[in-house]
Amino acid sequence: MLDTVYFNGVYTSREKAALHVSDLSILRGYGVFDYFRYEGGEPRFISDHLARFRRSADGLRLPLDLSDRELEEIVRELIGRNTVGDGGIRFVLTGGYAEDGYTPQAPNLLALPYAFSAPAPHFYQKGCTALLHVYERQLPQVKSIDYIEGIRLQPTLKKVGAQYPLYVDRDDHVRESDRSNFFIVRDGVLMTPGENVLLGITRKHLLRVAASLGIATQEGSVSVTDLLEADEAIICSSVKGAMPITKVLGGDRFATRDYGSPGPVTRQLMAAWREYV
């Protein structure tokens, strides 16, 4: 069971934890979060995630008064109180209860455990399909709770047979997916956008894995043309790990590219990732 949650210093049941309707996360979508996995009762890359959570809070000017040590204690207490050995923890810091409905107040801090459900194996064997979509997130390096566009796109993705969007900016550079970073492989080089994106923890560690394998890496802009002319493409996140993209749909504006099957660099990274984590 995953019934126990943390809410402002108190461990309580999931059904009893509740925010007041004046919270800015409800009224204005103002808040940040972070999510990470734990396996066998051990959190994965927790220091990286807590550092990003703190950066996101700073980006929205929300005070996070607890130390990293105190936050980790919350994580370990939640894992101990719940009975699932493998799962995930989501920290949420909201804008607080605002009488005027607009001005941030003392934030509310929640930590919520979840069971882990891995993507279907065939997405790693045959790859997934991504849809190019013109959209730029506000404050892209802040992991905010605003996922309006990704949720709004779900019917469109289902209609065209894609699993994930790839967001394209006004200059036709591909930045990221709704909940993931991405890479391309071109002439043996692993390339990933390095600016105006959320700097994912899995992305960070995949770059380290690639370097340990002797794969050249490059962080910088990736254009739609780069993606469509690449040899391979990869999407990555805490939930997905490294997953091959084997087809990119261009929608109404761009061309479509079919990579066929996962490429050799992608397969090498997927195998190494399983060992790394």
Q: Lowest-pLDDT range, 68-72, 83-87, 209-213, 269-273?
A: 83-87
pLDDT tens track for 201-243? 999 999 999 999 999 999 999 999 999 999 999 999 999 999 9
pLDDT tens track for 17-73? 999 999 999 999 999 999 999 999 999 999 999 999 999 999 999 999 999 999 999
What is the pLDDT, as a whole number, of residue 1? 64
Contacts of 64 (CB under 8 A, 6+ apart): 53, 54, 57, 93, 107, 109
Q: What is the CATH number of the domain that holds 25?
A: 3.30.470.10
Q: What is the CATH number of the domain that holds 192?
A: 3.20.10.10
Q: How many distinct structural domains can be found in the chain?
A: 2
Q: What is the DSSP letter of 119?
A: P
| Residues 204/191, Cβ–Cβ less than 8 Å | no
pLDDT tens track for 243-262? 999 999 999 999 999 999 99
131 and 234 fall within a common domain? yes
Range of the domain at 34: 4-115
193 and 95 fall within a common domain? no
Last-in-domain residue among 63, 88, 115: 115
Give the CA distances from residue 14 to residues 19, 42, 85, 110, 139, in Å, rounded to whole numbers and listed in that order: 12, 22, 18, 11, 30
Give the CA distances from residue 124 to residues 114, 128, 196, 205, 261, in Å, rounded to whole numbers and listed in that order: 23, 8, 28, 19, 10
105 and 130 fall within a common domain? no
170 and 241 fall within a common domain? yes
What is the pLDDT, as a whole number, of residue 100? 97
Last-in-domain residue among 73, 99, 115: 115
77 and 25 fall within a common domain? yes
Q: What is the pTM of this model?
A: 0.96
| Phi, psi at 236, each rounded to 5° | -150, 150
Give the pLDDT mean for 74-95: 93
- With bands split at pLDDT 50, 70 and 90, how would you rate the model's confidence at 85? confident
48 and 139 fall within a common domain? no
